[in-house]
């Protein structure tokens, strides 16, 4: 059984929008699939993937070719740097 720390919920509990700095903000961004993923998935029969944008961190859907470009074109490294990771740690 996994225990998670009690969230530190700040702000007005009656507010119906999650803002940056709220407990669930990053969690929501990291686990929400893009609303138009099915359109991208239909473009390429070889598959699709979800990647985090290097600048915003928002998930987006990419085709197989776009995934290769993301991984080997430098955007993946940019993303790792923006979250404080290094590609060297994976070697």
Domain ranges of the chain: 23-86
Query: Please, what is the angle between helix 75-82 and helix 64-72, to 10°?
Result: 60
Mean per-residue pLDDT pooled into runs of 10, the chain (91 residues): 53 69 78 86 87 87 93 92 75 55
What is the pTM for the complete model shown?
0.66
Would you tell me how many other CB atoms lie within 10 Å of the CB of residue 70? 20
């Amino acid at each position: 059984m996994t225990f998670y720390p009690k969230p530190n919920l700040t702000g007005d509990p009656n507010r119906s929008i999650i803002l940056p700095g709220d407990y669930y903000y990053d969690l929501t961004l990291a686990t929400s699939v893009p609303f138009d993923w099915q359109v991208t998935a239909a473009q390429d029969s070889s598959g699709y993937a979800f990647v985090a944008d290097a600048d915003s961190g928002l998930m987006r859907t990419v085709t197989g070719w776009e995934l290769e470009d993301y991984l080997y074109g430098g955007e993946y490294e940019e993303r790792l740097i923006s979250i404080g990771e290094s590609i060297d740690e994976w070697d």
